[in-house]
Chains A and B, each alone.
Chain A
Amino acid sequence: MPAISPNASAPPVANDRGTPLPLPAELREQVRRLERGHSAQPAGQAAKPLGLPAIDALLPDGGLLTSALHEVEAGPAPSGRVAAHDGAALGFTAFLMSRFSGGTLLWCRQRSGAFDAPPYAAALSVWFDPARLLMVTARREEDLFWAMEEGLRCPGIAAVLGETRAADPTAGRRLSLAAEKSGVPALLLRPQPGPAQSVCATRWRVASAPSRELGARWRVELRRNRFGTPSAAEIASWLVEWSDETHSLSLVPQALDGPAGADLERLAG
């Protein structure tokens, strides 16, 4: 009678010398799916590409996962000072939201008294039609997270964005789970760098960078990339620019980056 050991059918993961063998591709895919825990998501539709090959190559499935939580925080200015405003991070978030087409975009925010600066739809219209927006203003953080969760459960919602300073790990975990369950992406926009949360699939730090002709040029850092490919650099960082003419985001060549680059441009122009 043959004895069936639990390891009999498992592929050998290590040879005699103890060096790991490469796993078969489908098994690796399976492990990734288990890790991600969004098996309900049909393969191939799980991610929306950003349209920038350099960034998409690092992201899982070649794009932004739909069933996950993504964080965008406004980074410090190039000089290291705290950024004066999060206009650039807001623009990048709006660009990310525009990737999720078809359906209502739920935008949850908290009002900040007399100095309130709400998003301005006339500017957002370059990324998506503001007619798709459903704006929610919450008084308390609990209400904001509750509204976001409710939105994530609704099938007609394309993406949910929450603007908050609060970094509540429990709320982040709940949002992440709700996004995994429904396949609706959740985004968090922070006006300042907040404490790192482990639950988000990607975390971006966006700061405005000196531009050529007052265009939207941003320094984008991918500070966390949970299911994606690790980049060569410690923190993947790109200088990107939004073009109203081509209606797309493009990488700024590194040679033109920085003050020296600006001089080069002036020489070229």
Chain B
Amino acid sequence: MRLADARTLVPDLVTTSVEPQADRRLIETLASWCDRYTPWVAIDPLGSAIAEEGVEACSAGGFGGDAGLLLDVTGCGHLFGKDEAGERALLADLVERLAKHDFTCRAAMADTAGAAWALARYAEKQADLFCPRNGQRAALAALPVDGLRLDKPILETFLKLGLRRIGDLYPLPRAPLARRFGDLPLTRLDQALGALDEPIEPRRPPPAFRTRLAFAEPIGRPEDIAAATSRLLAALCTQFEQASVGARKLEIALYRVDGSVDRTSIGTSRPNRDNPKLMKLFEEKLGELDPGFGVELMILAAPEVESWSGAQDALPETGATTHPLGEDGTIDLADRLALRLGAENVVRLAPRDSHLPERVQVTAPVSQPVPEGAWARLASMKGARPTRLLQRPEPVDVLALLPDDPPRQFQWRRHAHKVVKVEGPERLADEWWRPRPNGRVMPANIIPPVRDYYRVEDDDGGRFWLFRDGSHNAAKWFLHGFCA
């Protein structure tokens, strides 16, 4: 029916345009909100139709029918009560809280995601929404076949054949069914009944370690949030200690009363479970968090952990061949700096076995030990090097008697420098054994493969490192560094 026809029939029809992206955002927010119950929250993959325009909705059809969230609450019910009572309480809590945010929802719980999916959509009585343990076969028998998450053509054929209820499929022989309809109906049936495993793929990888703290009254003051973080951290550090691990990354999430979630995370360059040190890192970040109208729940999770014996603050090994950053607070300093300036801006300098000057110096992460004395060995093998190396060699105009002669004068950044002393040339050729990306056009600023380096001193005492492009007859000169 077209909109014009609909308006003729119902003159005061309220219309709004479809906004699949907004729907998607809303369901994402809801999914984040559901993280309070379990880290295993997934957006129903069959509901993907709401994100992409023009895609025909699947079996249940239309928004509301196919948008859904799947929660794996295995082992989460005990927070609300014992065994089945706890799981029932969790379900009731979820519906009640969502109702407070003006969401009408149908939530069902069953042993399998498929059964819960069918119950949430097609259960007739409120009592049926909770399916007791191993009760899905009985619970599903009376539901329409639409509950099996099948495509429309299959469902229509089912209806033509008189297969109206899921229970009608139970006695049918499997082989002819598979031959006629393909694997899908049987797979869906087995998944719903629990004969086939159907894992829920969480939106974000569930952390191995997490602690939560719910508040009776929403909190909002920064000091309260800091105090709560401190308590969560203490609990998490105890967990770390029992498991002999240390955190590499920690994430704190604030669940605000308006249903939205704010997160921030900290990283450390080595496994850490030192409560005060981690707290100090968090103090830097907590200011970024916005508590909004109040925070009702906080969850601290460790998405990245590493096994760690905790042998910290030991005396440095004597005669060690590597130079790790000290345990004397240096690594914590590096973490603090990296948190504010970015990890790529807090680095160490590691040598690389190469004779090309610009390839010798590589930045290494703080946690990586740099071999002691490796730099000195490397430097002793090469000629004198500049104290500063230009990231990009800059072209200079050089005067020389003959093309192969050392420079007599060079002009760099509009200043002419008369050369009075020269040392060189030191010829450096390309590392032909190194693989390079094929078929790529060399950019104009690329360093030529064969270079003749000269150390020169101008009449003002300034010392420079120049090189001539040795691969062409045309004498092209570059400035590559400044000497002490």
The chain A residues found within 8 Å of chain B, CB to CB, are 77-79, 81, 83-88, 90-92, 94, 103-104, 106, 114-126, 129-139, 143, 146-147, 150-151, 154-157, 207-211, 213-214, 216-219, 242
Whether the pair A125, B323 counts as a contact (CB closer than 8 A) is no
Nearest-neighbor residue (CB-CB) of A211 within chain B: B457
Q: Which residues of A contact B475 (CB under 8 A)?
A: none
Given contacts A117-B482, A157-B330, A208-B462, contact A134 B375 (CB under 8 A): no
Q: Find out whether the CB atom of B388 lies under 8 angstroms from the CB atom of A117.
A: yes
Q: Which of B324-380 contact A (CB under 8 A)?
A: 325-330, 332-334, 336-337, 340-341, 345-349, 351, 357, 360-361, 363, 366, 370-376, 378-379
A147 adjacent to B348 (CB under 8 Å): no
Chain B residues near A209 (CB-CB < 8 A): 461
The answer to whether A123 and B484 touch across the interface, beta carbons within 8 angstroms, is yes
* Bound-state Cα–Cα, A146 to B371, Å: 29
B387 at the interface (CB under 8 A from A): yes
A151 to B351, CA, bound (A): 24
A-facing residues in B280-335 (Cβ within 8 Å): 323, 325-330, 332-334
B421: Cβ under 8 A from any A Cβ: yes
Total number of residue pairs linking A and B with CB closer than 8 Å: 209
Asked if B389 is at the interface (CB within 8 A of a chain A CB), the reply is yes
CB-CB under 8 A from B372, the residues of chain A are 129, 131
Bitwise interface map of B from 405 to 441 toward A, beta carbon under 8 Å scored 1, else 0: 0000000100101001101000000000000000000
Which residues of chain B have C-beta atoms less than 8 A from A94's C-beta? Answer: 387
**Is B470 in contact with chain A by the CB < 8 A criterion?**
no
Contact of A211 among B326, B334, B388, B463 (CB under 8 A): B463
Asked if B460 CB lies within 8 Å of chain A CBs, one says yes
Is B481 in the interface zone, CB < 8 Å from A?
A: yes
B363 touching A136, Cβ below 8 Å: no
Q: Which residues of B contact A211 (CB under 8 A)?
A: 421, 457, 461, 463
Q: Is the CB of B481 within 8 A of A214?
A: no
Residue B483, interface by CB 8 Å: yes
Tell me whether A131 and B421 are in contact (CB under 8 A).
no
What's the Cα separation between A118 and B358 when bound, in Å?
11
Q: Are B329 and A155 in contact (CB under 8 A)?
A: yes
Among A84, A86, A121, A156, contact of B361 (Cβ-Cβ < 8 Å) = A121
Q: Does A122 contact B378, Cβ atoms closer than 8 Å?
A: yes
Interface size on B, residues (CB 8 A): 64
Q: List the B side residues contacting A124 at CB < 8 Å.
A: 375, 387
Distance between A98 CB and nearest chain B CB, rounded to angstroms? 12
Chain B residues lying within 8 Å of A90, measured Cβ to Cβ, are: 387-388, 482, 484
* B333 and A156 contacting across the interface, CB-CB below 8 Å: yes
A210 to B349, CA, bound (A): 31
Cα A94 to Cα B484 with chains together (Å): 10
What residues on B are CB-neighbors of A104 within 8 Å?
Answer: 325-326, 330
- Give every chain A residue within 8 A of B347 (Cβ-Cβ): 134-135
Within 8 Å CB of B464, what residues of A?
A: 84-85
CB distance from B155 to the nearest CB of A (A): 59
CB–CB B484/A122 < 8 A: no
With contact pairs A123-B385, A134-B348, A156-B328 given, residues A208 and B463 touching in the complex (Cβ less than 8 Å): yes
CA distance A163 to B361 in the complex (A): 19
3 pairs of A and B residues whose beta carbons are closest in the complex: A91-B484, A156-B328, A87-B482
The interface stretch among B22-30, B211-219, B390-398 is B390-398
**A90-B388, A104-B330, A138-B345 known; A122 vs B360 contact (CB < 8 Å):** yes
* Residues of chain B lying within 8 A (CB to CB) of residue A116: 390-391
Q: Is there contact, CB below 8 Å, between B417 and A84?
A: yes
**How many Å lie between the Cα of A156 and that of B462 in the bound state?**
36
A156-B375 in contact (CB<8A): no
User: Does A122 lie within 8 Å of B341, measured CB to CB?
Assistant: no
**A106: which B residues are within 8 A, CB to CB?**
333
Contact residues of B between 452 and 484, Cβ < 8 Å to A? 455, 457-464, 481-484
Partner-A contacts on B (CB < 8 A)? 323, 325-330, 332-334, 336-337, 340-341, 345-349, 351, 357, 360-361, 363, 366, 370-376, 378-379, 382, 384-392, 394, 412, 415, 417, 420-421, 423, 455, 457-464, 481-484
Rounded to whole angstroms, the CA-CA distance of A88 and B463 in the bound complex is 9
With contact pairs A118-B389, A123-B484 given, residues A136 and B341 touching in the complex (Cβ less than 8 Å): yes
CB-CB under 8 A from B423, the residues of chain A are 213-214
B329→A154 contact, CB < 8 A:
yes
A210 touches B328 (CB 8 A): no
Taking A90-B388, A114-B391, A131-B375 as known contacts, 9 extra A-B pairs with beta carbons closer than 8 A to each other, sorted by chain A number, are A87-B482, A104-B325, A116-B391, A123-B387, A124-B375, A131-B371, A137-B341, A147-B337, A210-B460
Q: Which residues of A contact B345 (CB under 8 A)?
A: 136-139
Residues from chain A with a CB closer than 8 A to the CB of B390 are 115-117
**Residues of B contacting A114 with CB < 8 Å?**
391-392
Which of A87, A117, A120 lies at the interface centre, i.e. has the most chain B CB atoms within 10 A of its CB?
A120
Query: Interface centre among B341, B347, B423, by most A CB within 10 Å?
Result: B341
Contact A150 B336 (CB under 8 A): yes
Contact, CB under 8 Å: B375 / A214: no
Q: Is B461 in contact with A87, judged by CB distance below 8 angstroms?
A: no
Q: Can you spell out 27 A-B residue pairs with CB atoms less than 8 angstroms apart?
A: A84-B460, A84-B464, A85-B482, A115-B394, A117-B391, A119-B388, A121-B349, A121-B360, A121-B375, A122-B375, A122-B382, A123-B387, A124-B387, A125-B375, A125-B376, A130-B375, A134-B346, A134-B348, A135-B346, A154-B330, A154-B333, A156-B327, A156-B333, A209-B461, A211-B421, A213-B423, A242-B484
Pairwise interchain contact A84-B412, C-beta atoms closer than 8 A: yes
Taking CB as reference atom, which chain A residue is nearest B391?
A116
A-side contacts of B460, CB under 8 Å: 77-79, 81, 83-84, 210
Q: Min CB distance, B478 to chain A, in Å?
A: 13
CB distance from B450 to the nearest CB of A (A): 20
Tell me whether B415 and A84 are in contact (CB under 8 A).
yes
Known: A210-B420, A211-B457, A214-B423. A86 touches B482 (CB 8 A): yes
Residues of A within 8 A of B363 (CB): 135
Contact indicator B388/A120 (Cβ below 8 Å): yes
User: What are the residues of chain A within 8 A of B326 when measuring CB–CB?
Assistant: 103-104, 156
Of B326, B357, B389, B462, chain A has the most CB atoms within 10 Å of the CB of: B462
Q: How far, in whole Å, are A207 and B263 apart by their CA atoms in the complex?
A: 51
Q: Is the CB of B387 within 8 A of A119?
A: yes
Which B residue's beta carbon lies closest to that of A146? B340
CB distance from B333 to the nearest CB of A (A): 4
Which residues from chain B contact A147 at a C-beta distance below 8 Å?
337, 340-341
